[in-house]
Amino acid sequence: MDYFIESYDVAVIGAGHAGIEAGLAAARLGCKTCVFTINLDWVGNMACNPSIGGTSKGHLVREIDALGGEIGKAADANTLQSRMLNLGKGPAVHSLRAQIDRRRYTEHMKYMLERQSGLDLRQAEIVDVSRGEKGEWVLKTNIGAIYNAVCVVLATGTFLAAKVFVGESSYDSGPDGMFPSTELAASLRRLGVQMQRFKTGTPSRINRNSVDFSKVEQQDGDKKVSSFSFNNDSKIENKVSCYITYTNEKTKKIILKNLHRSPLYGGKIEGIGPRYCPSIEDKVVRFAEKDRHQVFIEPCGEKTEELYLQGLSTSLPEDVQLEFMRTVPGLENCRVTRTAYAIEYDCVNALTLSHSLEFHDFEGLFGAGQFNGSSGYEEAAAQGLVAGINAAHKVLGKSAFVLDRAGSYIGTLIDDLVTKGCSEPYRMMTSRSEYRLLLRQDNADRRLMKYGHELGLISKERYEEFLCKLDRIEQESRRIERTVLTPTEELNKMLVSRGTSPIVTGARLVELMRRPQLNYELLSPFDKDRPDLPEEIFEQVEIETKYEGYIKRQKAQVDEMRRLERRALPKDIDFGKISGIRLEAAEKLSKVRPENVGQASRISGVSPADISVLMIYIDKLHRAGMKTEDGSR
């Protein structure tokens, strides 16, 4: 017998990285919120790599923090090792990555949810989602309990109809031996949600005491430790080392000899896996010319001897896994604590979502994280934050919060998902943005914190600190414009030693800073009036100075893109009746249902000629006095 328990403004299904941010955002914006999870002990679980950040992913974490999200603070509080990646390249691709204590991280996030006012955290398996008689969403648990909600965020991760594969064996299971959400997946299909099948995988974990560290390369953290949060109050220390080793020809031969036992190559796995995070068997097949592949040996926590073998994801049988791992230097006597596996799961067709992450056809129903076809903790957290904000705004009668791709990686991520869809798990990369010199991790607060404050997720005190930082950047930019360095023997000796020409008359500091061979550090001994400022101020000024021309060009591109974004499309537009648009383009436009001309121009199969026709059609509507979606004529 079913029985009613309680009503909420916002209900979040799932307490992974997407569900956490969605629940916290909705509650912090004043909505009565509940986060449901199958097991309270696995809130924010890192089922795969126990790390946060990395190339482009570090950008996402900084952006989430600037908007008032939680993942950056939690990562800082539970860091084992911190490294800034890609420092040998330009600032657009500098990305922070931290190795995380996975159990402490889970405890931290669970505690944050428990302490959040207006939020209930409940252990319950939701097995059915349906519409009530009054338009509310009705959630039913596996024991018959009923909950109502105005809005629902689906943040189910890889649990929907999940199936684990190890060699010839397969069984219904979520990640880390958890129960799968089989009935919920069936419920969503009955509702009419368009689903697809993806797969991902994870490597074995081994016991630290079985590794010969004399045969592997040690990788220490940075001496100068950086934080994800712009207002970090945690003491971050490098507490552990990571290590690197390599596979070899023996490894390759064993894998190739046993490919017929792989469910991936045997046809048992139907789901599509991530191209940019392939299994080791996929690597040796796709990159047959390579003699070796990197293996990163990374700790899972301070109080565990488990090590994670990044780079050795596989679904081969357990005996084959052990055989090929023991060919890798340092792992000859490794003892496995957790066997590697592949996991197949249901996720939504993201083309059925709007930029707010609300379904086009199901008002008040939102998707976030791996449910939307993405991969990665950071991508999930970003979507969870946006979905939680918009679910709250829906309840409160406020307009949708949408970030465009020119202003953030979060905007790029969501725009890619809902405009282009994904035929494999989507992973964020810096190359996915046309404006990556503008979307650096160092300036995420300058791009987004005003929105976090306007939303109500960034406190007045924190925002005032940010405004003070902006003022310092402006003052320092003006100072280097007017500061003149006079030619001296010492200065010219330094200039020549760096491969740049000496000066014969006074030179403005800003002009010297623009030289690629020079920087603040080299010029500081000759800059007698240099103020005592935080390092981040100098970093911002130096980047803006050195890349001024490139930044201006990208800003001009952004202006053009935003001009198209302002050309809103009517919700009820019938693309099939627009004369001059090709049939393929009309079909794609009808399927995606773009909100503006800019979004329409990014849909695969829609040509510039189609966009020209569409703009002429919109102009005719304007002249006829018909309103477009944004209310303009």
State pTM to two decimals: 0.93
pLDDT at 630: 46
Backbone angles phi, psi at 487, to 5 degrees: -70, 125
Percentage of the chain surpassing pLDDT 70? 98
Give 136's pLDDT tier (boundaries 50, 70, 90): very high
Residue 633 has pLDDT above 70, yes or no: no
At 14, list the tokens.
């799932």
Q: What is the DSSP string of 465-501?
A: HHHHHHHHHHHHHHHHHH-EEPP-HHHHHHHHHTTS-
Q: Which residue has the tokens 């679980």?
A: 45
Residue pair 166/279 in contact (Cβ under 8 Å)? The answer is no
Residue 631: how many other CB atoms lie within 10 Å: 7
pLDDT at 626: 52
In tens, the pLDDT along 507-534 reads 999 999 999 999 999 999 999 999 999 9
Residue pair 371/348 in contact (Cβ under 8 Å)? The answer is yes
Residue 588 has pLDDT above 90, yes or no: no
Q: Where are the domains of the chain?
A: 3-154+191-199+348-452, 205-344, 473-547, 566-623
Lowest-confidence pick of 163-172, 173-182, 208-217, 559-568? 559-568
Buried b (16+ CB within 10 A) or exposed e, 313-350: bbbbbeebbbbbbebbebbeebebbebbbbbbbbbbbb
The alpha carbon torsion through 13, 19, 20, 21 (nearest 10 deg) reads: -130
Lowest-confidence pick of 127-131, 282-286, 560-564? 560-564
Measured CA angle at 403 (ends 27, 591), to 5 deg: 105
Residue 627 has pLDDT above 80, yes or no: no
pLDDT at 628: 45
Select the more confidently predicted residue: 455 or 624. 455
> Distance of alpha carbon 454 from its chain centroid, rounded?
23
Sequence-separated (6 or more) residues with CB below 8 Å from residue 457:
25, 28, 29, 67, 68, 69, 389
pLDDT at 269: 76
In tens, the pLDDT along 242-270 reads 999 999 999 999 999 999 999 877 777 77
DSSP state of 228: S
d(CA 546, CA 527): 18
Q: In 3-state terms, what secondary structure has residue 202? A: strand
Residue 377 has pLDDT above 80, yes or no: yes
Q: Which CATH class is domain 566-623?
A: mainly alpha
pLDDT at 276: 64
Lowest-confidence pick of 71-75, 325-329, 397-401, 434-438? 434-438
Q: How is domain 205-344 classified at the CATH fold level?
A: Elongation Factor Tu (Ef-tu); domain 3 (2.40.30)
Give 116's pLDDT tier (boundaries 50, 70, 90): very high
Average pLDDT over residues 564-586: 88
Residue 459 has pLDDT above 60, yes or no: yes
d(CA 381, CA 410): 10
CATH 3.50.50.60 assigned to 3-154+191-199+348-452:
yes
In tens, the pLDDT along 4-54 reads 999 999 999 999 999 999 999 999 999 999 999 999 999 999 999 999 999
Q: What's the chain's average pLDDT?
A: 94
DSSP state of 359: B
Average pLDDT over residues 458-471: 97
Q: What is the DSSP string of 64-95?
A: HHHHT-SHHHHHHHTEEEEEEE-TTS-GGG-E
* DSSP strand pairing (33-37 vs 341-348): unpaired
Is residue 266 packed enough to be buried (19+ CB in 10 Å), middle (13-18) or exposed (0-12)? middle
Average pLDDT over residues 523-552: 94
- For residue 350, give Cα distances in angstroms to 191, 353, 371, 427, 459: 16, 5, 9, 14, 33
Residue pair 96/226 in contact (Cβ under 8 Å)? The answer is yes
Q: Which residue has the tokens 């019938």?
A: 574
Give 631's pLDDT tier (boundaries 50, 70, 90): very low
Q: How is domain 473-547 classified at the CATH fold level?
A: Arc Repressor Mutant, subunit A (1.10.10)
pLDDT at 218: 97
In tens, the pLDDT along 494-512 reads 999 999 999 999 999 999 9
Select the more confidently predicted residue: 414 or 615. 414
First to last CA, the chain: 55
Same fold, 3-154+191-199+348-452 and 473-547: no
Backbone angles phi, psi at 51, to 5 degrees: -145, 160
In tens, the pLDDT along 139-157 reads 999 999 999 999 999 999 9
pLDDT at 607: 87
